Amino acid sequence: MYLHANNKKIFAYTGARPHHEGLESVVFVHGTGMDHTVWLLPARYFSHHQFNVMATDLPGHGRSEGPAATSIESMSDEVVAAMDAAEIE
């Protein structure tokens, strides 16, 4: 699915399942130069075992728009913005 966060279109993989209110969430964050595909198998496992899952492509990676973050702080800001857009606490 695509989210809009920090004026960018951000891709988020959900383990092939929609989010369900009341379930705990697992957020997967890839490293620099990677994308959500490094988390496909774990994300799918958790989504099929009663968890909401979100594995985003950080800006500048995979299917997401925008320039890549230049610091750990800006990467974490992007993750929090994506979580807010997906309404994950």
Q: To the nearest whole percent, how much of the chain has pLDDT over 90?
A: 88
pLDDT in tens, 46-73: 999 999 999 999 999 999 999 998 999 9
Domains parsed from the chain with CATH numbers: 2-85 (3.40.50.1820)
Check residue 38 and give its pLDDT.
Answer: 97
9 band by pLDDT with thresholds 50, 70 and 90: very high
Q: pTM score, two decimals?
A: 0.89
Check residue 19 and give its pLDDT.
Answer: 87
Secondary structure of the chain as H, E, C letters: CEEEECCEEEEEECCCCCCCCCCCEEEECCCCCCCHHHHHHHHHHHHCCCCEEEEECCCCCCCCCCCCCCCHHHHHHHHHHHHHHCCCC
Residue 18 has pLDDT above 90, yes or no: no
